[in-house]
């Protein structure tokens, strides 16, 4: 795989990694990824028919030795600082979508935050926003 990916690929790689961090891709989280790609302005020029292919690319990278580090390096390189915040926000959305955020998901969010060099207050605000949107009582 080349060293450069598109903004859309980087965001999808991040969401797919979040979804699969516990060793399986949850159907609720997968549906959320599809919804995000279909509705957010950052994906307006992305061909939705490519979603499965891009998700598979992420899986192939993750299957390699040191795959997570390689994937995160590609993501960081492809995104501007503001879109790094978007990547984190989308990862949080995917994690929260099934109403259960596990230890592995929290660990990945910490790794993502540190890799993308995001401010802890910004990431806390993004997390709190997702909690408010997905509360049921």
Domain count, the chain: 1
Which of 53, 85, 60, 5 has its CA nearest to residue 93? 85
What CATH number is associated with residue 48? 1.10.3680.10
Query: What's the rounded Cα separation, in Å, for the pair 36 and 122?
Result: 21
The tokens describing 40, both together, are 């957010």
What is the extent of the structural domain holding 60? 7-134
Determine, yes or no, domain membership for 117: yes
40: left (phi over 0), alpha (psi -120 to 50) or beta: beta
User: Does residue 3 register a pLDDT over 70?
Assistant: no
* Tens digits of residue pLDDT in 51-101: 999 999 999 999 999 999 999 999 999 999 999 999 999 999 999 887 878
* Tens digits of residue pLDDT in 16-44: 999 988 777 778 888 999 999 999 999 99
* Tens digits of residue pLDDT in 91-135: 999 998 878 788 888 999 999 999 999 999 999 999 989 888 877
- State residue 132's pLDDT score: 85
Determine, yes or no, domain membership for 2: no
Question: Which pTM value belongs to this model?
Answer: 0.92
- State residue 94's pLDDT score: 92
Determine, yes or no, domain membership for 26: yes
DSSP character for 40? -
CB 77 within 8 Å of CB 13 = no
């Amino acid at each position: 795989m080349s060293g450069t990916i598109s903004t859309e690929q980087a965001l999808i790689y991040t969401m797919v990694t979040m979804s699969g961090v516990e060793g399986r891709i949850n159907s609720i989280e997968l549906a959320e990824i599809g919804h995000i790609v279909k509705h957010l302005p950052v994906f307006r020029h992305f061909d939705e028919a490519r979603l499965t292919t891009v998700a598979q690319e992420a899986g192939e990278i993750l299957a390699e030795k040191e795959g997570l580090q390689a994937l995160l390096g590609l993501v960081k390189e492809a995104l501007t600082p503001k879109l790094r915040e978007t990547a984190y926000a989308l990862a949080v959305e995917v994690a929260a979508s099934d109403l259960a955020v596990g230890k592995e998901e929290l660990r990945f969010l910490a790794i993502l935050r540190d890799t993308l060099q995001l401010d802890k207050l910004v990431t806390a605000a993004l997390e709190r926003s997702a909690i408010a949107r997905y509360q049921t009582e």
